[in-house]
Amino acid sequence: MAGYSLNLMLANKSADGKHIGVALGRQCIKAGVSVSSVAERFNVSRQTVYNWFEGRVTPNNQVAESIKEYIATLKHEHKHGI
């Protein structure tokens, strides 16, 4: 579970899944990808990732496109047990 707190998981679950950051959070929680890994991948702070996961902040359009690709990769890996 990559060390996710119950509070973060509940905040993510109750947030609007239409937001790309929330969708990213759901997929990362499911796949066990750490906040630190996500922060490093997108060159942002961990706090930014937490804000995305909770739907407090929406990533800019350029980052959102990269996030969509990453979500697709995570779904593919999860589906195929990679």
Q: Which residue has the tokens 């593919």?
A: 76
φ/ψ bin of 5: left (φ > 0), alpha (ψ from -120 to 50), beta (otherwise): beta
pLDDT score recorded for residue 1: 47
| SS3 at position 45 | coil
Token digits of residue 42:
């997108």
pLDDT score recorded for residue 77: 86
pLDDT score recorded for residue 3: 81
Handedness of CA 12, 68, 61, 45 (dihedral sign): positive
> In degrees rounded to 5, what are phi and psi of residue 35?
-60, -40
Tens-digit pLDDT profile for residues 17-62: 999 999 999 999 999 999 999 999 999 999 999 999 999 999 999 9
pLDDT score recorded for residue 81: 74
